[in-house]
Amino acid sequence: MISLFYLITGGAFSVFLIVLAIYSIGEKKTRAAIISLISSTVLCFIWYSGYTLLSFPDYLLAIPLTFALLLVVLFFVPFGDVHPLSIGEVKKRVDERDVIFSREEYLPGTEQYEHYYRLRPEFREIDNHIRDLPELLEPGGRYYDPVKSTSIDHIFDVIENLTSQVDGPASSKRINVSQTEITSEIKKLVLLLGADDVGIAKLNPMWVYSHVGRGPEQWGTPIENNHKYAIVFCIEMNYSRVEKAPKLPVTEESAACYLRGSHISVSLAQYIRSLGYPARAHVSGSNYQIMLPPVAYDAGLGELGRIGYLISPKFGARIRLGAITTDLPLIPDKPIAFGVQDFCAKCRKCAINCPSGAIPKGAPESVRGVEKWPLNVEKCLQFWRQTGSDCGLCMRVCPYSHPSTFVHNIVRAGLKRSPIAHTLSVWGDDFLYGRKIKYDRGSSKKNNSVIKRHRDHESSS
Ligand code: SF4
Ligand code: SF4
């Protein structure tokens, strides 16, 4: 009996490794495919030679068998506490004027510039330095490509045009709705419109920005958004495009997802207003009124990771978020915890691979009442401007970002509750995919000539 179990267990491990190799070939992960195949062969040889060549008795076969089964049990069976994201009392709202994407738009000589740096002189030097770098998607960035960069820029222009449609008066004829039915209807509609996951949050007023920092509304005016709920959704970013980070395909993918998200939120907000309830879409790039990651966390879409943004249990860090705030009566979801805080404490892969050093490698800190890893946004944006793309290397290397396939979902199941699974998965991910990834750093020579061409063109026109 023991020998039969022994043979089945060895076979199951080998088959798993072969399946992993097949999936790795599909994911174009050559190193992982080779390692899995070699491991499967070595395991088969060692495991079965104990039974065939060496003819071990049952009591000797029981030792590796017990060890292997114990490992499986410890990997999957939940034990220990899951540490959810720790959110204490948040007393102050964030001012959108302080957000790095607002700050980079304050041009020297403008009223905004003078006003802002009188309020925040500590940011003047670093922001001036960032503004001196080539603008994102403009000539001078390492990966700048006149055709591709222009096409991505164009998508962002289209998104910006949608900001005029984010709000409007609700219909005077209010339709009475059942909370349960409309919640289910709204979720179905969001998915139908192209989102990949959706949740509802009770809107925490502390996640609403205090003052307008970007977009068509008057800069610096206080933001009044007292809506009760937020409908939050995520869009999965294409795996193979994210794998090309930090080159332009990842930026192209971000832009395409933001465009899809903008369409979803604008059309959903219009629909809700036509039911007679106020609703505002929060569209990328220029006029968010709310901080999306904590609202998405409240809506049960994922957890905040070391990476600085939301990690979805289904798609990892490969997501873009969108939201609509409203007074339509909805049933809110609850935040979820699936082991991200514990796993991130051990993993650190995003921090190790971040080329700008923007992601902290140490323990989380309390930031305005939230226990998190604070991202150095200035370093991150500086790198974006140098490369001319939105980088995404952290998203690419995150072990949660693997595609939702059979093998990766098995690992995700273990990561939910088991500290053993956390440790083994960090080792396994490094072993199969490498701790530090290599990426094409482009050619600065090419970029210098691009800058020169651009300047020549500007001076002749
Ligand atoms: S996007 Fe790039 S530079 Fe920014 S935090 Fe991620 S890896 Fe670092
Ligand atoms: S790479 Fe690792 S540490 Fe960074 S967010 Fe992903 S799981 Fe957390």
Whether a cis peptide bond, with omega within 30° of 0, leads into 121 is: no
**In what helix (H) or strand (E) does residue 140 lie, and over which residues does it extend?**
none
- Please tell me the distance from the alpha carbon of residue 196 to that of residue 320, in angstroms, as a whole number: 10
Helices 58-76 and 2-26: angle between axes, nearest 10 degrees? 50
Q: What share of the chain is helix, strand, coil (3-state, %, to 5)?
A: 55, 10, 40
Q: Is 317 in the pocket of ligand 1 (CB under 6 A)?
A: no
Q: Which amino acid is at 308?
A: G
Helices of type H across 324-418? 340-347, 349-353, 377-387, 393-397, 406-415
* Spatial CA neighbour of 325 closest among 304, 295, 303, 297: 295
The confidence score (pLDDT) of residue 443 equals 52
Contact 123, 117 (CB under 8 A): yes
- Please tell me the distance from the alpha carbon of residue 198 to that of residue 276, in angstroms, as a whole number: 22
Model confidence, pTM: 0.91
Of 47-56, 304-313, 408-417, least confident by mean pLDDT is 47-56
The confidence score (pLDDT) of residue 130 equals 96
CA-nearest residue for atom 6, ligand 1, is: 394
Of 49-58, 110-119, 166-175, 386-395, least confident by mean pLDDT is 49-58
Question: Candidates 83, 85, 307: which one to mutate for ligand 2, based on the most atoms within 8 Å of Cβ?
Answer: 307
The confidence score (pLDDT) of residue 285 equals 66
Neighbours of 89 (CB within 10 A): 7
* Spatial CA neighbour of 357 closest among 335, 383, 390, 334: 383
The atom number, within ligand 1, closest to the CA of 357 reads 8
CA-nearest residue for atom 2, ligand 1, is: 391
**What does the DSSP 8-state code read for residue 401?**
G
Nearest-Å Rg of the Cα atoms of the chain is: 25
Q: How far is the CA of 160 from the centre of ligand 2 (A)?
A: 31
Q: How far is the CA of 54 from the centre of ligand 1 (A)?
A: 53
Q: How far is the CA of 303 from the centre of ligand 1 (A)?
A: 18
The confidence score (pLDDT) of residue 460 equals 37
Asked if pLDDT for residue 459 goes beyond 80, the answer is no
Q: How far is the CA of 377 from the centre of ligand 2 (A)?
A: 17
With left for phi above 0 and alpha for psi between -120 and 50, is residue 434 left, alpha or beta?
Answer: left
Helices of type H across 58-123? 58-76, 100-103, 111-119
The confidence score (pLDDT) of residue 89 equals 85
**In what helix (H) or strand (E) does residue 419 lie, and over which residues does it extend?**
helix 419-433
Question: Candidates 391, 396, 397, 436: which one to mutate for ligand 1, based on the most atoms within 8 Å of Cβ?
Answer: 391
Query: What confidence tier does 181 reach under pLDDT thresholds 50, 70, 90?
Result: very high
- Please tell me the distance from the alpha carbon of residue 235 to that of residue 98, in angstroms, as a whole number: 26
Of 117-121, 286-290, 442-446, 452-456, least confident by mean pLDDT is 452-456
Question: Candidates 338, 344, 422, 423: which one to mutate for ligand 2, based on the most atoms within 8 Å of Cβ?
Answer: 344
Q: Is 323 in the pocket of ligand 2 (CB under 6 A)?
A: no
For the CA of 306, the nearest ligand: 2
Q: Is 347 in the pocket of ligand 2 (CB under 6 A)?
A: yes
- Please tell me the distance from the alpha carbon of residue 41 to that of residue 72, in angstroms, as a whole number: 20
Contact 340, 236 (CB under 8 A): no
Asked if pLDDT for residue 422 goes beyond 60, the answer is yes
Question: Candidates 343, 375, 415: which one to mutate for ligand 2, based on the most atoms within 8 Å of Cβ?
Answer: 343
Contact 234, 296 (CB under 8 A): yes
Instruction: Report how far apart, in Å, the C-alpha atoms of 138 and of each of 153, 317, 342, 392, 455 are.
Output: 9, 26, 40, 18, 12
446 CB burial (10 A radius; 0-12, 13-18, 19+): exposed
- Please tell me the distance from the alpha carbon of residue 411 to that of residue 403, in angstroms, as a whole number: 12
For the CA of 380, the nearest ligand: 1
Q: Is 350 in the pocket of ligand 2 (CB under 6 A)?
A: yes
In 237-355, DSSP assigns E strands to: 279-282, 303-304, 310-311, 319-326
- Please tell me the distance from the alpha carbon of residue 281 to that of residue 323, in angstroms, as a whole number: 6
Residues 6 or more apart whose CB falls under 8 angstroms from that of 404 comprise: 314, 315
Q: Across the beta sheet with 197-202, what order do the strands follow?
A: 197-202, 229-236, 319-326, 279-282
- Please tell me the distance from the alpha carbon of residue 17 to that of residue 297, in angstroms, as a whole number: 34
Q: How far is the CA of 255 from the centre of ligand 1 (A)?
A: 17
The confidence score (pLDDT) of residue 286 equals 64
Q: How far is the CA of 344 from the centre of ligand 2 (A)?
A: 5
Mean pLDDT of the chain: 91
More confident residue, 434 or 458: 434
The confidence score (pLDDT) of residue 108 equals 94
The atom number, within ligand 2, closest to the CA of 353 reads 1
CA-nearest residue for atom 1, ligand 2, is: 398
The residue-averaged pLDDT of 425-438 equals: 94
Judged by DSSP in three states, 21 sits in helix
Give the model confidence (pLDDT) of 83-105 as tens digits: 888 888 888 999 999 999 999 99
Contact 235, 257 (CB under 8 A): yes
Asked if pLDDT for residue 343 goes beyond 60, the answer is yes
Residues 6 or more apart whose CB falls under 8 angstroms from that of 93 comprise: 205, 206, 207, 208, 209, 210
The atom number, within ligand 2, closest to the CA of 346 reads 3
**What does the DSSP 8-state code read for residue 336?**
-
The residue-averaged pLDDT of 327-347 equals: 95
Contact 372, 83 (CB under 8 A): no
The confidence score (pLDDT) of residue 57 equals 84
Q: Is 425 in the pocket of ligand 1 (CB under 6 A)?
A: no
The residue-averaged pLDDT of 356-385 equals: 94
Query: What confidence tier does 269 reach under pLDDT thresholds 50, 70, 90?
Result: very high
Q: Is 412 in the pocket of ligand 2 (CB under 6 A)?
A: no
Q: How far is the CA of 307 from the centre of ligand 1 (A)?
A: 8
